[in-house]
Structure 1
Amino acid sequence: MLSSRIETPTGPLTVLADPDGMVYAAGFTTESAELLALVHPRLRGPVRDRTDLGPITSAVHSYLDGDLAAIDAVPVRQHTDGAFLAHAWETLRQVKPGEPITYTEFAELSGRPRAVRAAAMACAQNAAALFVPCHRVLRTDGGLGGYRWGLPVKTWLIAHERRSDPGRDEARAAAR
């Protein structure tokens, strides 16, 4: 497993990936070991540091430069013993940048409208932050809720996505 640290305006983003460019874990930390603990035991392996992960690093830089869709094409592999979590993580990848949803809406999109706590658990157990954008899920009252990497990081990510998507405001104005 390869590890690389990418500097962001909100601190370092460390990514664990395989040599083929599949992300296994990512988080706003400098500690590869902290991320490795989030990876399912069947997927773990020795970690080797790299300065660059090619397309993954490029996608993160493009995202930070305002191309919010750049991270969508990066493949992610998380393993779970439950079908709901796998489906919920795929569902998270469909949530549009700059358009956060609530945990209730996330549960509905995931096919289990009454499973709000399970939807929140899917966010909490997500090992591939940024690429599986659990930061785009808010409390029902619009509050931030939690985020493994801290609320300042979640706040920055949401603000970045809103700033970088001027078409979002134009589309809302046109819909009125």
Structure 2
Amino acid sequence: MTNAFVSTVDTPIGPFTAVVAPDGAVLASGWTGTADDLLPQVSPSLRPVELTARRDLGQVTRAVRAYHGGDLDVIADVPVRQRGGAFTEQAWEALRTVPAGKPISYADHALLAGRPAAVRAAASACARNAATLFVPCHRVVRTGGAIGDFRWGPAAKRWLLAHES
């Protein structure tokens, strides 16, 4: 991919930046003020060569603001584009089916992705997820309810889970 757009908006957790393809699909996103923290997570085949800053990314910006304002389901309608192995892509799709306020365990995530024994692979898919929020990996917790890891920190994950409960 040669070009993409980037925008940062303020949220209650801090700045949220999204990198979006020309067709509106999210390539990467997260609670950071810079695309430099996001681009390494994007598959090389999708990674843009050039980023153009925009104040507003249309549907993506509206969804980020609406989600943080309490419309928890708005993120499901935003298109996402990620590339990985077959199971990783399946695991990312499975995450998009997890309802807000109903966190699941990594074991449940593996089951939902179609490979119950692949708990480590399911956790790895969460760790490799470039489109945070739109692919809600924050909804996966450790068995027993412990927060687990999150690229944007445990405080952000706690806020998101509390916001959705």
Q: TM-score range by the shorter chain?
A: over 0.9
Q: Partner of 2:18: helix, strand, or coil?
A: strand
Equivalent of residue 21 in structure 1, options 9, 20, 24: 24
Deviation at residue 44 of structure 1 after TM alignment = 1.4
Greater gyration radius: 1
Equivalent of residue 104 in structure 1, options 84, 99, 107: 107
Equivalent of residue 154 in structure 1, options 124, 134, 157: 157
**Given residue 8 of structure 1, which amino acid in structure 2 is its aligned partner?**
T
| Farther-moved stretch of structure 1 (95-104 vs 37-46) | 37-46
Q: Partner of 2:38: helix, strand, or coil?
A: helix
1:119-152, CA deviations, whole angstroms, 9 ceiling, x for partnerless residues? 1001000000000000000001210000001000
Q: Distance in 1 between matches of 2:121 and 2:59?
A: 32
TM-score (norm 1): 0.90
Alignment of 1:2-41 (within 5 A): 2-41=5-44
TM-score (norm 2): 0.95
Q: Which residue of 1 aligns with 2:90?
A: 87
Deviation at residue 19 of structure 1 after TM alignment = 2.1
Alignment of 1:129 onto 2:132: yes
**Given residue 58 of structure 1, which amino acid in structure 2 is its aligned partner?**
R
Q: Which residue of 2 aligns with 1:116?
A: 119
* Bigger fraction of residues in helix: 1
| Structure 2 segments unaligned to the other structure (5+ residues) | none
| Structure 1 segments unaligned to the other structure (5+ residues) | 163-176
Indicate the percent of aligned positions where both proteins have the same amino acid. Answer: 54
Equivalent of residue 69 in structure 2, options 65, 68, 74: 65
Q: Which residue of 2 aligns with 1:145?
A: 148
Aligned length: 161
